[in-house]
A and B are shown apart, each in its own frame.
Chain A
């Protein structure tokens, strides 16, 4: 079920009102959450519900057993079973064909022909997200950071919690699971701010992301037909699209959970205003980057085993992070670019610091901040090319064209802005991007809800109606137009 669909618009109010009818009885409430989450997921394809069930069942049992044993070897075996089941399912459904194809390509490269037919596998929506979420549970118990849940209903609800089931934020059991053990009374302010966040997320998705997608899809469908300027514009628009798509989804997820009294992790914090790649990864998909930090980077040794090992660990983490996003070499490359960028940043830290000092560049200065943000955004966009392109060769071709088929005078051609869009649509896109940026900057300084609450009821309602009608009039929806969220494919 998509958040931007009429099905969800019917589903959510029903769940919401039922939820507050039964919220005082913890078990009934959690049962309602579990059933509605399974319905939400099964609405897409009920057959894959068993994967979530298996994952939940295995980890619930292993968690309990692991807690009751003091034998470290037994603990290791139990953790291995959890990893094997969860990662096994993930690898089978997401990476089996990728590995088969890569193997065949390797044989072909060395002049041998290996013919293995690929498997007909459908990728279950959100498998990467809920697998990581359940893994964090068993790993935390293994590391004695968490006590296992004794209530299977709470645990199963935690794994399948529908607001964040298919695309995060990837919750830690330490943060979310205890919330299934407490009663959430109706909190008017929380519900109001949750609803506003949902509206904000829908605006990001339906008005900005899906409209930018019209341009991006047109260019990236046949990149060879476009010059450097069009490719550059479409890459920048893709950066905007993916941000609004994913952070829009996250806003809706956090908003839905908030209306039900749950607090989810923050996932984005103005990532395109980052002053370095390190900064970017503190602001982009925070729940994933902290997951990789805690469950991969640190177990690999983090930065405690020398400089070279640190660089290696960073590279490994980002390559795997790329692979987590998608089973294709383009994603691996995307991750590698970020990893390499971070390594270079670390390697040149002292050098850069002395250069900045010599040139009198202060990162807190506004114009300098803008300069560093521009540089970071450019690198992020370069990496997005690999993320969006259909193949590595296509990505390199796009980069080649941007640099070699670039005529600055082309920016003056109006047709260039009307690829996949008409002139009114382009104006709406630009105006909505500017409005959104201003709203996000203001929100970062002081919550929009707090700002709104200081105003009269009339003004607040006027703003609510403006947002509602902006979504209704400028949103992309209709006959077969509901666009899925990009991160659903991961």
Chain B
């Protein structure tokens, strides 16, 4: 009997270790949200200065690299599409197990979302009444995850506790699971998360604009419910216990929509302001109110017209800069440590009036075409970094208007072979040609400097100012 018990125990422990080890590989991640958790877990303990929490509006609206670049701090974002404020609270609890951020930013769309059902997604204890995309599965197996699962899945808790069991039939949708697997094994999940912001360059179409104009939107159910309010208080309580500054923010919505539901937004704003007014370490930055919503060119094109809009990259640049500047002004005295140099294009480009050319960076913009008739912009040129295998580099182009708006793109670069260049400079220049085609609406009006960017295999960043400009009218 003893032999049996010992063997059963060893077998169970081994099985448990295996299950928990594989746990984070088993996720059905379609939104890139898992990359944000992977990025968070990749960060060294107690090195994150600013932690942002929220749902898809935060994911699409705030570029962590811009916050880092403008404040010289470490930033991580924990998001989950459709998260409720209760899930945000549990994400914060999980984050505090690993990090001691100085500022925690909470995006408030989960409180604003104008659907009475969403206000009743959970009860006072956090028990989920209507189950949505769960960030509980993104968490590492531990006490916070167990606590959240027990509360949110009181029935069949065992089934939800381990992702290996919950998503055991992942092999049925291998394509879907490929993304989360790549995000998991990638060394820089933060870049994967970031890509899901910068790749979104569409905007609302004319037809959709008229749909927005004609559609009725309810404001009556835009309020912070009592259970939601209890979670705001729990978050504030955590800020006191863990000694961090708390900042509630809004991410802008489409201005035509905002015009119709401004009353509802104001209702939620005043409820939040009322709760936080007696807490010195808590602030509220209503970025949406600041802009009164953003125009069509800042909002990504989505299949349906409803109250749930997300920013595109242009909108993200604008809002991220606003937030970065707000943090810079209001929390400057908190961030005294100088963080090590970050490997991001943004870190090299922001906060610099003059961007220095990297050594041995060769390149030229050969064509700038601002087609006024169809509203498209074409830029052609080439870039080459001596001393690197240029077949393996990542090329990018930055269009810098000023220190508050820099459009950086690499996924929209199409490789082209410039035969004259190759003839003059040699075969190693074959991979250096590029062409970009953009809609002018993806940029703000104004004059832009065109910068060349190269990221080596090792992640080193090189820049070169092309001495060319482009005007967007």
Contact = CB atoms under 8 A, between A and B. Distances in A.
B116 interface: no
A479 B172 contact: no
B9 interface: no
Interface stretch (B33-41, B163-171, B249-257, B355-363): B163-171
Contact of B15 (A186, A428, A468, A473): A468
Given A6-B158, A478-B159, A479-B156, A424 B171 contact: yes
Nearest to A472: B168
A422 B172 contact: yes
Interface in B186-224: none
Given A472-B164, A479-B156, A464 B171 contact: no
A70 interface: no
A188 interface: yes
A256 to B, nearest CB: 15
A461 B174 CA distance: 28
A424 B174 CA distance: 9
Contacts of B14: 461, 465
Contacts of A472: 19, 164-165, 168
Interface string A458-490: 000100110011001111011100000000000
A464 B159 contact: no
A465 B174 CA distance: 23
Contacts of B18: 465, 469
A422 B175 CA distance: 13
A472 B161 CA distance: 14
Interface string A318-341: 000000000000000000000000
Given A6-B158, A465-B15, A475 B4 contact: no
A186 B4 contact: yes
A46 interface: no
Interface residues of B, number: 19
A475 B159 CA distance: 13
Nearest to A473: B168
Contacts of A468: 15
Majority secondary structure of chain A interface residues (helix, strand, loop or mixed): helix
A188 B164 contact: no
Nearest to A476: B169
Interface in A368-385: none
A425 B168 contact: no
A473 B171 CA distance: 8
B3 interface: yes
Contact of A475 (B168, B171, B174): B168
B253 to A, nearest CB: 34
Contacts of A469: 18
B5 to A, nearest CB: 9
B15 A20 contact: no
Interface in A310-369: none
A192 B7 CA distance: 11
Contacts of B158: 6
Given A465-B15, A472-B165, A188 B172 contact: no
B1 A20 contact: yes
Interface string A7-50: 00000000000001000000000000000000000000000000
A225 B164 CA distance: 37
Contacts of A464: 11
B159 A6 contact: yes
Nearest to B162: A472
12 contacts: A6-B159, A188-B3, A188-B4, A424-B174, A464-B11, A465-B14, A473-B168, A473-B169, A474-B169, A478-B159, A478-B166, A479-B156
Interface of B: 1, 3-4, 11, 14-15, 18-19, 156, 158-159, 164-166, 168-169, 171-172, 174
Interface of A: 6, 20, 186, 188, 191-192, 422, 424-425, 428, 461, 464-465, 468-469, 472-475, 477-479
Given A188-B3, A472-B164, 7 more contacts: A425-B172, A464-B11, A465-B14, A474-B168, A477-B159, A477-B168, A478-B169
